[in-house]
């Protein structure tokens, strides 16, 4: 799939989760904050690199990125969220009206990057097989705060057969710039997740007998910080509805 053509479809109004699209190409999380909050966000990312691996930062008001030079960050994602004072106020397929001249856009790595590697190793990625969005959960782990920003770690979950957990760790660990190895293997209770069937974001997936729920740090973590810290204004992607770049996944492989 040509990535420019895919973004063109999203620009024209197509709304759908992007898991499984454009395999081998990096997808990223978007969070755009007022210039006044950009330092807090960049420092929060530096202090929490596993959930918040920053792959690019725009200049204030400039809705573009080196990761896909021809793209427009205001229109080329399938679905956006607009936040005021930490509350979700709008979900929309176009963010042109919501954009402001003082917004600094952060593009944050996404675990979809290593899913190609899992598939290539013959490990089923359940939400791709199901054609649904990856399940994501707020945890009881607090990120290290930075300035005015704080909040919980958000994780994505993939059920992995017990005899492939080592492979999944090894393969995802090759991509430290896009969340890297899991933060937790099994035992959702210890992360404060009461029910895997009720994710905080995305869709639930089956966990079958012999499978272990494996948890990776998730790029929705900044959105949880927007809520917890009552950030006055933010524009983000909707969970699972990522920005598809032109950058190959291999760029982030160690």
CB of 121 to a copy of itself, least distance (A): 18
Whichever of 84 and 174 has its CB closer to a copy of itself, that residue is: 174
| Spatial separation of the C-alpha atoms in residues 231 and 233, rounded to whole Å | 6
| Spatial separation of the C-alpha atoms in residues 77 and 94, rounded to whole Å | 8
Q: Contacting a copy of itself (CB under 8 A), which of 1, 15, 47, 187?
A: 47
Stretch that binds a copy of itself, among 22-30, 54-62, 151-159, 193-201 (CB under 8 A): 54-62
Q: Contacting a copy of itself (CB under 8 A), which of 31, 42, 77, 108?
A: 42
Whichever of 159 and 180 has its CB closer to a copy of itself, that residue is: 180
| Spatial separation of the C-alpha atoms in residues 216 and 172, rounded to whole Å | 9
Stretch that binds a copy of itself, among 14-22, 40-48, 183-191, 220-228 (CB under 8 A): 40-48
Whichever of 57 and 196 has its CB closer to a copy of itself, that residue is: 57
Complete DSSP assignment for 214-250: EEEE-TTHHHHHHHHTT-SEEEEEPTT-PEEEEEEGG
Helices (H), 81-164: 112-120, 126-130
Q: Contacting a copy of itself (CB under 8 A), which of 38, 68, 212, 235?
A: 38
CB of 129 to a copy of itself, least distance (A): 29
Distance set, CA 118 to CA 12, 100, 125, 127 (Å): 31, 39, 7, 13
Residue holding tokens 């966000």?
Answer: 41
Per rule CB under 8 A, is residue 54 in the interface with a copy of itself? yes
Whichever of 180 and 239 has its CB closer to a copy of itself, that residue is: 180
Binding pattern to a copy of itself, positions 170-189, x when CB under 8 A? ---xx-xx--x---------
Whichever of 107 and 212 has its CB closer to a copy of itself, that residue is: 107
| Spatial separation of the C-alpha atoms in residues 161 and 38, rounded to whole Å | 41
Tokens coding 202: 């995305």
Whichever of 18 and 48 has its CB closer to a copy of itself, that residue is: 48
CB of 158 to a copy of itself, least distance (A): 20
Q: Which residues 6+ apart lie within 8 Å of 194 measured at CB?
A: 188
Residue holding tokens 């492979």?
Answer: 167
Per rule CB under 8 A, is residue 169 in the interface with a copy of itself? no
| Spatial separation of the C-alpha atoms in residues 122 and 10, rounded to whole Å | 30
Residues contributing to the site for a copy of itself (CB under 8 A): 38-39, 42-43, 46-47, 54, 56-57, 173-174, 176-177, 180, 254
């Amino acid at each position: 799939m040509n990535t420019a053509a895919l973004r063109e479809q999203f620009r024209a109004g197509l709304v759908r989760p992007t898991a499984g699209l454009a395999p081998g190409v990096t997808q990223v999380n978007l969070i755009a904050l007022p210039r006044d909050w950009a330092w807090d966000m960049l420092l929060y990312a530096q202090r929490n690199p596993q959930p918040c691996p920053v792959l690019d930062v725009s200049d204030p008001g400039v809705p573009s990125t080196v990761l896909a030079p021809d793209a427009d960050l205001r229109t080329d994602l399938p679905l956006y969220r607009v936040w005021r004072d930490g509350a979700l106020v709008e979900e929309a397929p176009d963010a042109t009206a919501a954009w402001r001249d003082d917004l600094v856009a952060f593009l944050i790595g996404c675990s979809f990057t290593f899913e190609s590697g899992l598939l290539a190793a013959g490990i089923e990625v359940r939400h791709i097989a199901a054609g649904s969005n990856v399940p994501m959960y707020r945890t009881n782990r607090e990120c290290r705060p930075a300035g005015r920003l704080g909040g919980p770690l958000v994780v994505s979950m993939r059920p992995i057969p017990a005899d492939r957990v080592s492979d999944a760790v090894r393969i995802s660990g090759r991509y430290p710039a896009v969340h890297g190895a899991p933060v937790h293997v099994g035992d959702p209770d210890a992360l404060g997740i009461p029910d895997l069937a009720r994710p905080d974001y995305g869709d639930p997936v089956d966990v079958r007998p012999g499978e272990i729920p494996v948890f990776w740090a998730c790029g929705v973590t900044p959105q949880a910080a927007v809520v917890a810290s009552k950030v006055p204004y933010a524009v983000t992607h909707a969970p699972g509805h990522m920005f598809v770049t032109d950058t190959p996944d291999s760029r982030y492989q160690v």
